[in-house]
Amino acid sequence: MPGIQAGEGEKRRSLHGHWSSRMAFILAVTGSAVGLGNIWKFPYVAGQNGGGAFVLVYLVCVLLIGMPVMMSEILIGRRGRRNPIATMALLGEEEGSSPRWRLIGGMGVLAGILILSYYSVIAGWTLAYAFKSVSGSFAGAGPAEISAHFAEFVSSWELVGLCHTLFMSLTILVVARGVERGLERAVRFMVPALLVLMLALLGYSINSGFFGEGLAFMFTPDFGKLTGDSVLAAMGQAFFSLSIGMGAIMAYGAYLPEETSIMGTSAAVVTADTLIAILAGLMIFPLVLANGLDPAEGPGLVFHTLPLAFGQMTGGVLFATLFFVLLSFAAWTSAIGLMEPAVAWVVEHRHRSRAEAAMIIGVLIWALGFGSVLSFNVLSDITFIKGTIFDNFDHLTSNIMLPLSGVFIAIFAGWIMCRNSTAEELGGAGRLYRLWRMLARFVAPVGILLVFLKAIGLLPELS
């Protein structure tokens, strides 16, 4: 986004400038979508929920719910051209409904703050693992050693807290400076580089001798394993991984030039994000099975599996370092998207400078993050509802807040906004437009509702 645009033309302009090109927008949204969600979270949640059936539900959710909600978010964002809260209020009024739609924007801003608080902790692990990799900590290590290493690391709240602090500082720094130039450049290089490394790792997995088993684990659905909770987890993961339901994409949409195709852009981003998640699964599960690790072990999964592979391959130190550095980058570009809605709101409504706003919000998130830092050590025995503080933050945000906002975003775009407004944003009322509208009006809201009902046990079991 170059400098701030002057004045209001006949079309509304964003207060924070515009993306320099369609490519810049795709890169920024991809940077927000591709992150720990694909590489750290997807494999461990798929593992906890039994593999195949979960992956299938995930893919269905991405297509039937994720895609239309993402398009809705971008079009709402572009039409409103403000932070998500102001945009929802403005469009609510403009479309003859109520400015109270701002509450949906508010829930998104809150979800972003809560997510970043624990996201930054895991991103801190990634940074730490980049340092460990350079120092050759994993060279030649076996499964037991790697496990012990991880356990020792997360048991030190000081160390985990320090890494979380480092990561949050980096995020605040970039958000404070108005990121976009740097962000565009970082993503342009990071996503392809990450892909190349992942393909190399995939090659290693294929040679592990357990590739067939890994494939079977990921793609043979056993519907008996599909509980209400795992369906909810699959849907929550779709929202989390695509960065939708919290205003990040809406905030980015606000900076999108008029002529860019929202459908084409969404399709590109959704495809890239999904491919990277599947690729992560394909590289991790064969290694899990080959080394007798437990696919359901939880958030430590990638940190147990990949160092093992790196420890054994030639050039492993270099590969490992590159991988964890790139993953930290991917987390960084997502973290920026998580903070942007809240920061944009403080800038517009509290009349603070960008730097001040980033500082205020950033420190708040940093402090909240200690709930998750301590979940893996000092407070690991304090569990309620879904587990530790970390587990509850994650469940509340991904599985409840994001899909809940998603219902309202789809309803807003599908029912509250008039046909003319949405057709104008989506480039005419052709076949694809009608498909989108049907998905946004019926399929996505009803689908999300059914998943919620299933999770609280109000729908019968599938098998």
- 343: contact with ligand PHE by CB under 6 A: no
- 406: contact with ligand PHE by CB under 6 A: no
Nearer to ligand PHE, 299 or 311 (CB): 299
DSSP secondary structure letters along 53-96: HHHHHHHHHIIIIIHHHHHHHHHHHHHH-S-HHHHHHHHHHHTT
Residue in 14, 120, 205, 243 binding ligand PHE, rule: CB under 6 A:
243
- 77: contact with ligand PHE by CB under 6 A: no
- 337: contact with ligand PHE by CB under 6 A: yes
Nearer to ligand PHE, 246 or 451 (CB): 246
Q: Which stretch binds ligand PHE (CB under 6 A): 27-35, 157-165, 251-259, 357-365?
A: 27-35
What is the contact mask toward ligand PHE in residues 112 to 131, using x (rule: CB under 6 A)?
A: ---x----------------
> Shortest Cβ distance from residue 194 to ligand PHE (Å)?
12
- 43: contact with ligand PHE by CB under 6 A: no
- 248: contact with ligand PHE by CB under 6 A: yes
> Shortest Cβ distance from residue 10 to ligand PHE (Å)?
32
What's the sign of the alpha-carbon dihedral 124, 366, 397, 239?
A: negative
- 266: contact with ligand PHE by CB under 6 A: no
Give the dihedral of Cα atoms 226, 220, 233, 364; nearest 10 deg: 160
- 334: contact with ligand PHE by CB under 6 A: yes
> Shortest Cβ distance from residue 38 to ligand PHE (Å)?
5
CB 49 within 8 A of CB 225: yes
Identify the CA nearest to 67 among candidates 267, 241, 233, 246: 267
d(CA 389, CA 375): 6
Residue in 32, 205, 375, 405 binding ligand PHE, rule: CB under 6 A:
32
Which residues fall within 8 angstroms of residue 90, CB to CB, at 6 or more apart? Answer: 80, 82, 99
Identify the CA nearest to 353 among candidates 180, 183, 177: 177
d(CA 459, CA 463): 12
What's the sign of the alpha-carbon dihedral 146, 151, 153, 154?
A: positive
Residues of this chain that interact with ligand PHE (CB under 6 A) are 32-33, 35-38, 115, 240-241, 243, 246, 248, 334, 337-338
